[in-house]
Amino acid sequence: MAVFGGIITFVGSIFLLLGALGIVRMPDVYNRMQAGTKATTLGILLFLAGIAIGHIECMCIFRILILILFIIFTNPISSHALARAAHHIGIPLTDKSVTDALAEDESEKEEAIS
């Protein structure tokens, strides 16, 4: 059981490593957010699950279940808030980007007001 838990924890830490690598490699703040959010969610999820399985005698599985729930609920909200704030203060998308519907709609509205 301890070995199995260790393997799951290891896989989780690999996803966390990939998330960190993604933050370094991606070209702009939005793409970094993508790598940061997704990889860390599954990474932490597997990491905690591995701990719960590896130390099954400590009966901490319920508490870890709560931790996992909170992470699933809060992680996307925080990254959404960050991305929204970044777009509001006008951080540009990378040159590779093909479209920005939000900026288009907002400039249309500003023209309508003025």
Kindly list the residues in this chain that would bind another protein in the complex (CB under 8 A): 15, 18-19, 21-22, 25-28, 30-31, 33-35, 37-39, 41-43, 59, 62-63, 65-66, 72-73, 75-77, 79-80, 83-84, 87, 93-94, 96-103, 105
- Give residue for tokens 């998308």: 93
Burial of 20 (C-beta count, 10 Å sphere; 0-12/13-18/19+): middle
Other Cβ atoms within 10 Å of 12 Cβ, number: 21
Amino acid identity of residue 31, one-letter, is N
Single out the residue of 10, 14, 12 nearest to residue 68, CA to CA: 12
